[in-house]
């Protein structure tokens, strides 16, 4: 695997459905050795996770990394709070945006970039119910159009 190769571990599709993602950042994540081994096996979930900034540090809550089977005493708590590695100016920028009403930071995906574990986090504004309905309607229209196109090409 080269330095630029990217291998997806976990994806948070629900985040893009629930939020308008306005800005994305790539962050490193502070992990223990057995957690990295568990991630290599693809055992990670970020569906219920969120990012909070405390004392100038970005922390990810609710990220579930299953314990490594052969890790015994070295395994950490699967739901422990983990530190995200971001530049100070990025943290300050996020902090300023979060202070505004309606903004939140959610993890979008976890992946390996070379040998490093990276988390893509997005600055999002919550969608209202009618926004979600519009998204579903657009998806249905696109699906119908693709179906019609397939039917036309078969004959």
pLDDT of the residue at 87: 92
Judged against a pLDDT cut of 60, whether residue 1 lies above it is answered with: no
Enter the tokens of residue 55. 């004392």
Residue with tokens 């699906």: 143
Q: In order of start, what are the domains of the chain with their CATH numbers? A: 6-127 (2.40.280.10)
H or E segment and range at residue 26: strand 19-29
Please state the pTM of the whole predicted model.
0.73
- pLDDT, one tens digit per residue, over 11-53 is 888 888 888 888 888 989 988 777 888 888 888 888 888 888 8
Q: How far is CA 119 from CA 15, 19, 46, 100, 109, in A?
A: 14, 17, 10, 23, 6
Instruction: Using the predicted structure, report yes or no on whether residue 75 has a pLDDT greater than 80.
Output: no
Residue 23 to residue 97: CA distance in whole angstroms? 10
Asked whether residue 80 carries a pLDDT value surpassing 70, the answer given is: yes
């Amino acid at each position: 695997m080269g330095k630029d190769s990217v291998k997806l571990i976990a994806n948070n599709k629900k985040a893009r459905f629930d939020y308008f993602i306005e800005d994305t950042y790539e962050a490193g994540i502070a992990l223990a050795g057995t957690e990295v081994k568990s991630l290599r096996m693809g055992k990670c979930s970020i569906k219920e996770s969120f990012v909070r900034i405390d004392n100038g540090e970005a922390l990810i809550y609710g990220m579930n990394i299953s314990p490594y089977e052969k890790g015994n005493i070295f395994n950490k708590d699967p739901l422990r709070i983990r530190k995200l590695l971001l530049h100070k100016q990025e943290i300050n920028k996020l902090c300023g945006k979060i202070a505004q009403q309606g903004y939140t930071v959610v993890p979008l995906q976890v992946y390996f970039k070379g040998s490093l574990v990276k988390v893509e986090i997005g600055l999002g504004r919550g969608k209202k119910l009618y926004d979600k309905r519009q998204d579903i309607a657009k998806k249905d229209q696109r699906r119908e159009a693709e179906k019609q196109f397939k039917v036309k090409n078969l004959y």
